[in-house]
Structure 1
C-alpha cells in the first residue's frame, strides 16, 4: 500500500513537471509570435498559471481516492497534449511569418535547351555540333547554358534572333535543331496561338539556372496601424518554383487606410500596354513599351516601379503570390469554391464550370485562373477569375476545419507567398485587428482600355495588348489618393 502511495506521489510530481513545461512552452510560443494585445495576453498568462496551480494541488495533495486521481491524471494529460499542440501550431505560424517576410536577395532564372518531341536528340551528349537558336535579349542565360555545355566538351552552333517569333519560326522551319529559352518565357510562347501546343511537341534536353539580384525593398510607413499605405499584389506565373522570376499575371494595388478601415483593390489587366520602368540592375528595357505582365520577368521590383510610374503613386510594400505553388495550397485545403455568374459557364480541356458555385481542385483552379480564350472579355475576365481563386483560398483557409491540417497548410503557405512587409509590421496589424476588431470596408476598381496589336519589347514582335484608357488611369489614381487621404474611393466620380 505504501509502495502504491509512493508511486502515485512520484507520478503526480512528474505529471506536474510535464504540465508546467508544456504550459510554459505554449506561453513562450504565444509571446514569441507577438500578436496578442496586452489585454488578452495578461489574462491568458494568469489563466494558465492558475490552471496549472489548481491541477498540481489536486494531483499532489487533494486527490486521494483512485477515481479522483485517475480523473486528475487524464485531465492533466489532456491539458499537456493540448498545450504542446497549441505551441507547435503557433510555432508553425511564426515560422511561416519569418519565411514569407524573408525576401530572397537573389531571384532564380531557369534556362532550357529544347528540341522537338520528334527529334532524335535524347540527351545533352547528343547536342554536340547541333545548331541552336537563342534570343539576343536572353544573352546572359544563353551564355550560361552554352558555357556549361562547352566545359563538358559539347559545342553547339549558335544563331541569335531579335524576337521570340523569329526564334520559334526558325526552330519549327528547321533552320535550327534546338533553341535556348528562359523558362519565364514559356508562358509567353503558350499565349501565342500558333504555338499553344509548345509544351506537348517539345522537350527539354538540358537545363541550368542563374541568379540575379532582387532589388525589391519596402518603403515602410512610420506606423502601419495608423498611417495609410499601398501594397502591390503580384501573382507570378512561374512554373519552375516560387523563387523564380516570371510574368506578373495578377497585378493589384491594395490601398489600406487603418484609420478609416478602408481597403481599395485596384486591378491592372496583365495585357495593359505600359512604359516599362525599373531600377539600375533590374535588367529591364527602361522606357520601352510592353505588356505590364512582362515586367515580372525582371523581378517584382520592375513591376512595382512600372505601376508607380503608371499611376503616379508610391508603393510601400509588395506581396508576391506564386500561382503555380498556389495549386499545392488548394490541394491541402481540399479545393476551393468559385462563383460563376450567369452566361460565364465554360468548358475547356482542363476544366469545366457551370453557373453558380463550383468546387475546383488544384489543377482546375489553376486552369480557371489562367483561362481567357473562352471569354469575350478575355483578359478582363481572367483577372476576375484570378481574384475569385484567391478569395476562395482565403475563405477556405479561415474556416475552423483547417485546424485538422494546419501544419501542412502552414508549410505550403511558406512556399506560396512572399512580402517586403516586415514580421513586426504583420504582427502589429494582427494585434491592431484583435485589439480594435474594426469592420473593414472593401472597395474595388479596375483600369480599362481597348484591344490592339502592338510591338512588345520583350517579345521583339507585335502581340495582343490593351491600350490604356487614360481616363480610367486618372480615375484609379484619384481613387487611391482619396483613400490615402481618409476618404472613400466611391466619392470619386
Structure 2
C-alpha cells in the first residue's frame, strides 16, 4: 500500500504539466494522477453526504442502537475502501461505489430532512382558525355578504366574544359594509330573532355552532342559507405537553370531526377515544366516550357547565382533553386529531386496513355518498369504506353507541397495520401523505421513539376496548346556551368501570377486559 501512495504522490507532479512536453510514460502518469484526484473528490462528496445523512438519522433517533451501529460501521468501511482504492489498481471500482453511495446518501439525506419537516408540521400548533358563516332566511333575496350591507346583524356573545368581534371587523374590512349589530346572551334567542326577521336580518355564526344548531333543530337548515363566510385566524399558545417516555405507560386522546381538507385545532369532537398504552405488557386499551355525553366542559374564557362533550372542541382540543381528564380523573399525555380527509388519507397511506365488524350492515347516504356492505367479522377496507364504516349510525338500533364501537374497531385496524414492520420501515412516507390531515402535540422525539421501540420489539400488541354506556334524553346546554339538545346521560357504573380498566392497564396488569367487565356485572347482581 505504501508503494501505491508513493506512486500516486509522484503522479501528482504531472497534473498541470504541459502535455506536449511530456513523454508517453509521463502522459500516462498525468492521466493516472487526474484519475486519482477525481476519485478523491468523489470520495469527499461521499463523505460529506454520509455525514449529513447520519446527522439526520441521529437527530431523528429512529433506528435501534444495534442497527445504527451496523449502518455506521458499514458506511465507514465502504468509505475507507473507496478512499484507499484510489491509490491502487481498484480505483475504478472505488469510483463506481463512491458515485452510487453518494446518490444513496443524497436521497437518504433529502428524505430524512423531509421527515423532520413533516414531523414539525404535524406537531406544531400556533393558530386557531374559525370560519364564520353569514346566514339569512332561505327566501331572502340576498345572495352575498355585499347584499346584506343594510341588514342588522346579530350573534351570541355567550362564548368567544373576542372571536366574533374580530369576525365583524374582518367582515367590514373585506366587504366594505358597516351593518348594525345586536348581541344576545344565548343562541336560541339569536336564531329566533332571525326567524322573526323584524329586528335581525342576518346572523354571524361559526360553522361549528351552526352545525350544533342544526343538530338541535332539524328544520333550521331548510329555513336559513349561508350567503358568505369570513375566516378568523387567531394566534394561540398551547401549553407544551409534558414529555413522557415511549417505553413507559401513556395515554393518547384520539379525536376527529366531520371536516375536510386541512385539519383544524378547534371544532366538534365527534370521535373521542382514549388509547391507554402500556409498552412493557404490550397492552392497549381503547376507551370510547359518546360524543353527546352530557358532562362538564369549559371554554378558554373560563365559562363552564354541563353541555355536550362534542361542543368542548369548539374552543380547541385542549378543552376536550380537560373535560375527559375531569370525567375520568386521569392525565392525558398527548392527542392526535384528524378529520374526514385524515381518516381516508391515513387508511389509504397504510394500504388499507382489516376491520372486524360486530354486525353486518350497509351504510346510508348520511355516512357516505356511496353505499358499502360490511360483513360480520373481518372486512378489508380502503379509506372511503373506513370512513363510511365509522360514520354510520342510523343502521343500528343503538345508533351512536354502535358507531362508537365501530370507531374503536377501525382504530384497532389502523394500529395493527401501522405497527407492522413493512409500514414502520416506511412510516415517513405515510406521515407525509397525511401531513395536512393530522395534528398532534406529540414531540418529534416521542414519535420516533415509538417507531424505534416497535422496531426493537415486534411482539404483537394486545388491543382491547371498552365503550361507555348511558341513556339518551333531552337537556339544556349550560355553556353554549342550546336548549332541548339530545344528549347521553352516562351511566355512573360505566364511567367507574372505565376508570378501573385504565388504572389496571397503566399499572401493568394483564387481563381480559370482557371477562373483567362481566365479573363486575355478576358481582353487582
Give the TM-score range, shorter chain: 0.7 to 0.9
Contact 2:272 2:289 survives alignment (8 Å): yes
In the other structure, the counterpart of 1:84 is 106
Residues 438/361 of structure 1: CA separation in 2 closer, same or farther (3 Å cut): closer
1:41–1:28 CA distance, 2 compared to 1 (3 A): same
Residue 211 of structure 1: aligned partner: 234
Partner of 1:309: 326
For 1:99, the equivalent position in structure 2 comes to 121
CA contact (8 A) 1:344 1:355 kept: yes
Name the counterpart of 2:372: 353
Determine the C-alpha separation between the residues in 2 that align with 1:377 and 1:117.
34
CA distance in 2, matches of 1:107, 1:211: 5
Does structure 2 retain, via aligned residues, the 8 Å contact 1:256–1:264? yes
Change (3 A) 1:5 1:400: farther
- Is 1:321 equivalent to 2:354 in the alignment? no
Give the structure 2 partner of residue 156 of structure 1. Answer: 179
Correspondence for 1:467 among 461, 478, 489: 489
The SS at the match of 1:307 is helix
1:446-485 residue pairs with structure 2 within 5 A?
Answer: 446-457=467-478, 458-485=480-507
1:442 aligns with 463
Q: How do 1:81-480 and structure 2 match up within 5 A?
A: 81-104=103-126, 106-115=127-136, 119-138=140-159, 139-150=161-172, 154-172=177-195, 174-175=197-198, 176-192=200-216, 194-195=218-219, 197=221, 202-211=225-234, 213-221=236-244, 223-226=245-248, 228-238=249-259, 241-277=262-298, 282-283=300-301, 285-286=303-304, 288-315=305-332, 317-326=333-342, 329-330=345-346, 333=349, 336-337=352-353, 339=355, 340-348=357-365, 350-356=369-375, 357=379, 359-362=381-384, 365-391=386-412, 409-457=430-478, 458-480=480-502
Look up the SS of the partner of 2:158 in the other structure: helix
Q: Once the 2 structures are TM-superposed, how far is the Cα of residue 419 of structure 1 from its aligned partner?
A: 3.2
SS at match of 2:307: strand
Distance 1:398 1:483 in 2: 20
Q: CA deviation at 1:277?
A: 4.8
Q: Number of residue pairs matched?
A: 478
Question: Do the aligned partners of 1:336 and 1:389 also contact (CA within 8 Å) in 2?
Answer: no
1:30 CA displacement:
1.0
CA–CA distance in structure 1, aligned partners of residues 242 and 347 of structure 2: 35
Q: 1:79-112 CA distances to partner (integer Å, 9 max, x unpaired)?
A: 32222222222222222333333343x4232323
Deviation at 1:163, TM superposition (A): 4.5
Match of 2:3 in 1: none
Taking the aligned partners of 1:408 and 1:436, their CA distance within structure 2 comes to 22
**More deviation, 375-384/430-439:** 430-439
Pair 1:23 & 2:50 matched: yes
Does the 8 Å contact 1:238/1:244 carry over to 2?
no
1:403 Cα deviation from its structure 2 partner? 10
SS in 2 for 1:410: helix
Does the alignment pair 1:53 with 2:70? no
Which has the higher mean CA deviation after the structures are superposed, 258-267 or 383-392?
Answer: 383-392
Match of 2:39 in 1: 12
Post-superposition Cα deviations, 1:108-146, rounded to whole Å, max 9, x if no partner, equal 323232345664334433322213232232433332233
Distance 1:272 1:318 in 2: 21
Q: Distance in 1 between matches of 2:32 and 2:96?
A: 18
| Residues 417 and 60 of structure 1: CA distance in aligned 2, closer, same or farther (over 3 Å) | farther
SS at match of 2:218: helix
CA deviation after TM superposition for structure 1 residue 293, in Å: 1.0
Which piece of structure 1 moves more, 268-277 or 154-163?
Answer: 154-163
Cα displacement string for residues 239-262 of structure 1 (whole angstroms, at most 9, x for unaligned residues) = 584344111111122222233232
Distance 2:451 2:425 in 1: 22
Paired with 1:29 and 1:232, the residues of 2 have a C-alpha distance of 29
User: In 2 relative to 1, CA 397–72 (structure 1 residues): closer, same or farther, beyond 3 Å?
Assistant: farther
TM-score if structure 2 supplies the norm length?
Answer: 0.78
In 2, Cα distance between the equivalents of 1:359 and 1:425? 29
Structure 1 residues 381, 184: closer, same or farther in 2, change over 3 A? same
User: 2:428 and 2:142 mapped to 1: Cα distance?
Assistant: 44
TM-score by length of 1: 0.83
| 8 A contact 2:348–2:382 mirrored in 1 | no
Moved more, 209-218 or 137-146: 209-218
Displacement after TM superposition at 1:336 (Å)? 3.7
